[in-house]
Every structure is written in structure tokens, then in C-alpha cells.
């Protein structure tokens, strides 16, 4: 085939695994043959809208077969898929649409108002609306029904861009990570090798597929192996437990809160979860009480470390090491290298803390339209600078020490303080602000804003939070606001976040 990228995957699977179930979404069951037919139809619809190689197509929606169909239809055409986070505010979505240059937007009816609010000033000139309930007529389904399902094999190379995923900006604006077909392919190889994904896998997708972790660690490796995806559009513990029993789910991924809520649910002891073979937890370490609850049911956790820019896997911690290497993020993935560098990029010996540097075919080549940021993100032009601090032990296991970029991880969502601080500083009454993460039993961390009020002005928490409402995704909005007389700073004027956490981080 001319198409060496993601766009060929489902078509090839439809030959090898024609009648095997590819996707289950409620009452909708799609075989690989069904899915391939729908993808080809959508590719022809998009081509009729003027989408060609290099064009950007955005998708705003939760887990749904249309997400997958759009991803692979774009791959068939050599177009670039731009999945949007449904939890973002309209202003944030508008930025992503403008920055990516997306000309087509696909969204479900339930998000019509949010999509409408995000469109003004964007280059989007065509839209398709997906029905929220299966079988309900929609623009999307009518377009597919009227389109040819002829498969077109176009030349797409592994180094061609496949996806633009927007990451929260450390300097106030998100950056579009350009994930190539090769990045996603090699990441899938890493997952299949290190987590033993099999063709009879049934993966329950509860985390949004617009996140790199869900897409790269769950969706693509499962489909590459010919397994089955079971979709849920939101996390609801009772529905997850019921789905595990009903569909014989073999793998489940989430953050510590996900697994904690499942283990604490009243149905936990009564549901048959014997089909589960693999639990993957990311975002932060699994609390001991949660680990013990699953061990009592004969299950262990695999873990790992990564980021959008590594598609997203960098390291993997096998379940058999969840006890012997407590706190570790694991070993470098099979086709990926990890080392620890000093400020000059020189490799540090085992046990010494430095910046985590990552290299491999799963690492992005650049940020969209950000040549300076792209250049700054690599050491020696080859090693991606993660911005996270850590060390390798004598056996090569990675341990995360601190976040150089002060990123907050709340319920699996990445929050960059600079973005929140920039929005708060729009208020005239605010002289200075710093956002830090504080411990939370449910979410791991939640953001807290420490604010200095301008002399002669007044402001309170209610006013600050009201200002942020609608400007930022709700998970980014600080749960608490603390007023301070001043912020600790270095001689050069930079805020000392470590000192700030000591005073206000409890």
C-alpha cells in the first residue's frame, strides 16, 4: 500500500479480522469491516469538502465511534486530525482552531453551543454534527449514507504529521504537539511489546480519547492488534463495573482516583472482574490502600511515565515491580531511550537528580508553528527535554523527583500554572499571583492561587473565581484563593514556588 500511516490500519485489519468486533458503543457493534466502510465513506465526504493532504480537521467530542472514524479518515487522506478537549472553554478552543488552521469541525449535538461559541474568527468553514444517540438522524450519518465507500490508497509516509494535540502552555498559550504517523506507530509497538497487548484484548475506554494517554496507550495498540474497544463517554463507577462483567473487559486504564472510586463502590465485591488482565495507572503513583484492594482480587498495576510529546509513553513499570519498585515510573520503553541530564545536557550517573531526557521514534519532531519552542525543547538536537526532574537507579528504573515546569496533575489532567496566572492577572486589582498544587484525597492535587492585591484596590476569592469562569476549563480554576502580602522571589525577581508551597501548600 502507498499509505504507510494510520489511515491504512483499519483497512488492513478489515482483511485480516473482517468479522471481529472492533468497536462497541452501547448498542452499536462495529466489525472491522463495518468500521473500514464507514471510514472510507467519511474520507470521501471530507475530500468533497476540500480536505486534502496536510489539511486540518478538528473533532470536539467525547468517546464515540465518530472520533475514531474521523481520525482514520484523516489518515486515509493524509490530512491532520486535531482532537479538542471538551473541557476547555470556548476561548481556549477558538485558539486551537485558529492556531491549527482547521477548516472542518465535527462535533456532537450536545456540544453545539460550545462549538458555536468557539468558531468566530476561526478558519472553519464546514461542519458536521454527530447524533448523541445511536440511530438518530444527523448531518454526519446522512453524509456517510450518501457517500461512496470506495477506498483510496494515497501516499502517506511515517514522517508525515498525523495529529496535532494541544498541550497547556507553560508560558500562557497552549502549544500544538505535532505527532507523526511514525510517532504513533512506534509508540504502539512500545505498548504491545511492554504490556503484552493481545488480539483478544477488550479495552474499556473511559478516559477521553482526545488525551494522548488514552489514544496512544489504549486505542491505537488495541486496534493494531485486532482487539476490541468498548467506549464509554464518561467515567461512572457503576457503569464501568457493569461493562467489565458484561463485555469481559481485559484491560482498563485510568488515574489513581479512577481505581479508588471503583474499589470503594458498593458493587465492587459483587461484580465479576475475573476477565481483567491488565490495569494501567498513570498521572501519579497508586496509593498503597488502592494497590492492596486490587491485589486482594488477584490484580496488579502497570504504570509508566510520559507526555503528549512522546506519543505518550516514555517508560513502563511492569505489574511485577509494583511492590519491589514502589514509586518508580519504570524502565524506558523498548524502542525508546531515557537518560538524566545536567543543565548542560551532560549525562548524569545513576542516583543523581537531573532533567529527564527522552529520545526515540515516538518523540515528536516539533510544535506546530513554533520553531523557537521546538528548538528549545531538544538537547543536542535529539533528546527531548521533558522539563521534569528525576533520577535512574542502578537498574535503570526511573524515579520522578520534581516538576521543573511546576505542572499540576489533577485527576489526570495537566494544569500549567502560568496559563492560570495569566488569566488572573487580567484583573486590575491583582498585583501578583502564583498558582501551586495542593494535596487532595480525591484528585491527587488541586490548584490554589496565592494572590497579592494591588495597593488601593480590593479583591476577594469570589471575584477572582467569577472572572475565571468561562475563560478556563473548570478543572484549571483554583479551588481556593489565598491572599498574601508578598510572594517569595529570587534575586532576579522569579517567584520561588518551593518556598511558596511550604507556606501555602498544605
pLDDT of res. 56: 98
Are the C-beta atoms of 126 and 107 separated by less than 8 Å? no
Q: Are 253 and 282 in contact (CB under 8 A)?
A: yes
Evaluate if residue 418 carries a pLDDT over 90: no
In this structure, are strands 383-392 and 378-379 parallel, antiparallel, or unpaired? antiparallel
pLDDT in tens, 10-26: 999 999 999 999 999 99
Task: Please give the pLDDT value at position 135.
Answer: 67
- Position 417 scores a pLDDT of 85
Closest C-alpha to 59, from 97, 11, 113: 97
The predicted structure's pLDDT at residue 51:
98
pLDDT value at residue 406: 78
- Which of 147-151, 225-229, 287-291 has the weakest average pLDDT? 287-291
State pLDDT tens for residues 110-162: 999 999 999 999 999 999 999 987 667 899 999 999 999 999 899 999 999 99
Least confident of 72-86, 307-321, 366-380, 395-409: 395-409
Cell of 73: 479518515
Classified by CATH at the fold level, domain 408-504 comes out as GMP Synthetase; Chain A, domain 3 (3.30.300)
Per-residue confidence (pLDDT) for residue 402, from 0 to 100: 66
Task: Kindly report which listed range (261-275, 341-355, 404-418, 465-479) carries the lowest average pLDDT score.
Answer: 404-418
Could you please report the per-residue DSSP string of 392-450?
E-TTS-EEEEEETT--EEETTEEE-HHHHHHHHTTSTTEEEEEEEEEEETTTEEEEEEE
Look at 98-102, 157-161, 300-304 and tell me which has the smallest mean pLDDT.
Answer: 300-304
Residue 161 DSSP label: E
- Separation between Cα atoms, residue 442 and residue 122, nearest integer Å: 37
Kindly report which listed range (247-251, 307-311, 328-332, 426-430) carries the lowest average pLDDT score: 426-430
Q: Please give the pLDDT value at position 123.
A: 98
The mean per-residue pLDDT over the stretch 40-62 comes to 98
pTM of model > 0.85: yes
pLDDT at residue 454, as a whole number: 86
- DSSP secondary structure of 74-96: HHHHT-EEEEE-TTS-HHHHHHH
Helix (H, G, I), strand (E, B) or coil at 492: coil
For residue 169, is pLDDT > 60?
A: no
**290: confidence class by pLDDT, cuts 50, 70, 90:** confident
Helix (H, G, I), strand (E, B) or coil at 206: coil
CB contact set of 197 (below 8 Å; sequence gap of 6+): 191, 221, 222, 225, 227, 251
Mean pLDDT of the chain: 93
pLDDT digit string (tens) for 422-449? 889 889 899 889 999 999 989 999 999 9
Domain limits, the chain: 408-504
**For residue 400, what pLDDT is reported?**
87
pLDDT on residue 490: 63
Q: pLDDT confidence of 350, banded at 50, 70, 90? A: very high
Angle at 189 between CA 187 and CA 194, to 5 degrees: 95
278 pLDDT more than 60: yes
What whole-number percentage of the chain has pLDDT above 90? 77
How far is C-alpha 16 from the geometric centre of its chain's CA atoms? 29
Q: What's the rounded Cα separation, in Å, for the pair 232 and 24? A: 9
pLDDT over 70 (residue 279): yes
Amino acid at each position: 500500500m502507498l499509505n504507510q500511516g494510520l489511515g491504512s490500519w483499519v483497512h488492513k485489519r478489515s482483511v485480516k479480522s473482517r468479522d471481529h468486533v472492533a468497536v462497541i458503543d452501547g448498542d452499536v457493534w462495529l466489525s472491522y469491516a463495518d468500521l473500514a466502510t464507514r471510514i472510507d465513506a467519511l474520507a470521501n465526504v471530507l475530500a468533497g469538502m476540500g480536505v486534502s493532504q496536510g489539511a486540518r480537521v478538528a473533532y470536539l467530542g467525547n468517546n464515540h465511534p465518530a472520533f475514531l472514524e474521523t481520525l482514520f479518515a484523516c489518515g486515509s487522506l493524509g490530512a491532520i486530525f486535531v482532537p479538542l478537549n471538551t473541557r476547555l472553554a470556548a476561548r481556549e478552543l477558538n485558539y486551537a482552531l485558529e492556531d491549527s488552521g482547521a477548516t472542518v469541525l465535527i462535533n456532537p449535538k450536545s456540544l453545539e453551543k460550545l462549538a458555536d461559541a468557539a468558531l468566530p474568527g476561526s478558519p472553519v468553514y464546514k461542519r458536521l454534527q454527530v447524533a448523541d444517540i445511536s440511530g438518530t438522524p444527523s448531518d454526519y450519518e446522512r453524509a456517510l449514507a450518501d457517500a461512496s465507500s470506495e477506498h483510496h490508497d494515497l501516499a502517506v509516509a511515517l514522517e508525515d504529521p498525523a495529529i496535532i494535540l494541544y498541550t497547556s502552555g507553560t508560558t500562557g498559550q497552549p502549544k500544538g504537539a505535532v505527532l507523526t504517523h511514525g510517532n504513533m506507530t512506534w509508540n504502539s509497538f512500545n505498548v504491545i511489546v511492554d504490556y503484552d497487548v493481545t488480539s483478544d484484548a477488550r479495552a474499556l475506554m473511559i478516559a477521553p480519547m482526545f488525551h494522548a494517554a488514552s489514544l496512544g496507550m489504549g486505542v491505537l495498540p488495541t486496534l493494531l492488534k485486532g482487539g476490541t474497544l468498548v467506549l464509554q463517554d464518561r467515567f461512572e463507577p457503576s457503569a464501568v463495573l457493569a461493562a467489565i462483567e458484561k463485555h469481559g473487559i481485559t484491560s482498563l486504564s485510568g488515574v489513581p482516583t479512577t481505581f479508588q472510586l471503583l474499589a470503594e463502590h458498593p458493587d465492587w465485591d459483587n461484580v465479576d472482574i475475573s476477565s481483567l488482565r491488565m490495569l494501567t495507572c498513570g498521572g501519579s503513583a497508586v496509593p498503597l490502600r488502592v494497590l492492596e484492594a486490587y491485589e486482594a482480587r488477584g490484580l496488579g498495576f502497570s504504570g509508566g511515565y510520559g507526555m503528549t510529546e512522546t506519543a505518550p509513553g516514555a517508560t513502563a513499570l511492569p505489574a511485577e515491580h509494583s511492590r519491589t519498585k514502589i514509586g518508580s515510573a519504570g524502565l524506558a520503553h523498548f524502542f525508546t531511550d531515557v537518560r538524566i541530564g545536567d543543565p548542560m545536557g551532560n549525562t548524569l550517573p545513576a542516583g543523581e537528580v537531573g532533567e529527564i531526557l527522552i529520545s526515540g521514534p515516538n518523540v515528536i519532531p516539533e510544535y506546530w508553528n513554533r520553531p523557537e519552542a521546538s528548538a528549545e525543547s531538544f538537547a543536542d538536537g535529539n533528546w527531548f527535554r521533558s522539563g521534569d526532574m528525576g533520577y535512574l537507579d542502578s537498574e535503570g528504573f526511573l524515579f520522578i523527583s520534581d516538576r521543573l515546569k511546576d505542572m499540576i496533575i489533577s485527576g489526570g489532567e495537566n494544569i500549567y500554572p502560568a496559563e492560570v496566572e495569566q488569566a488572573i492577572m487580567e484583573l486590575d486589582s491583582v498585583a501578583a499571583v502564583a498558582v501551586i498544587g495542593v494535596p487532595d484525597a480525591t484528585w491527587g492535587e488541586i490548584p490554589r492561587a496565592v494572590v497579592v492585591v494591588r495597593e488601593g484596590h480590593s479583591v476577594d476569592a469570589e471575584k477572582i473565581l467569577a472572572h475565571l469562569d468561562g475563560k478556563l476549563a473548570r478543572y484549571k480554576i483554583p479551588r481556593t484563593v489565598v491572599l498574601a502580602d508578598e510572594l517569595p522571589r529570587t534575586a532576579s525577581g522569579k517567584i520561588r514556588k518551593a518556598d511558596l508551597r511550604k507556606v501555602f501548600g498544605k
